[in-house]
């Protein structure tokens, strides 16, 4: 997971969360000055132009479909599958992804 924390001076802190073994979530924080932030945004905009958004993972799609349908049993089963996929990421360091 990636998130940004904008600062008043135009700089940004880029926060990258990655699963690590076993059951650890590792947080990496990168300070980007305002010039690097602007250059990174420009490069991302150029590089991602025309690339379609990826569809959700099968586990995420099943969870969303069950939620929208209002089926509690299907939602519970989908939640189990989604939880298992997250647990797999944590226990083997992302090799299952």
42 and 27 share one domain: yes
**b vs e for 27-48, b when ≥16 Cβ sit within 10 Å of the residue's Cβ?**
eeeeebeeeebeeeeeeeeeee
19 and 37 share one domain: yes
Element (H, E) at 18: strand 12-20
Q: pTM of the prediction?
A: 0.49
Average pLDDT over residues 51-66: 88
Banded pLDDT at 93 (limits 50, 70, 90): low
20 and 60 share one domain: no
60 and 91 share one domain: yes
Q: How many domains does the chain have?
A: 2
- Say which range, 29-43, 44-58, 80-94, has the weakest mean pLDDT: 80-94
Structural domain of 21: 1-52
33 and 65 share one domain: no
83 and 73 share one domain: yes
């Amino acid at each position: 997971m990636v998130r940004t924390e904008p600062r008043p001076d135009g700089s940004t802190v880029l926060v990258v969360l990655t699963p690590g073994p076993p059951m650890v979530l590792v947080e990496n924080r990168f300070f980007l000055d305002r010039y690097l932030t602007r250059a990174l945004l420009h490069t991302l905009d150029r590089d991602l132009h025309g690339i379609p958004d990826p569809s959700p993972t099968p586990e995420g799609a099943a969870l969303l479909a069950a939620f929208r349908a209002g089926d509690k049993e299907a939602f519970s089963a989908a939640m189990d599958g989604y939880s298992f996929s997250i647990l797999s990421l944590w226990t083997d360091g992302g090799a299952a992804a």
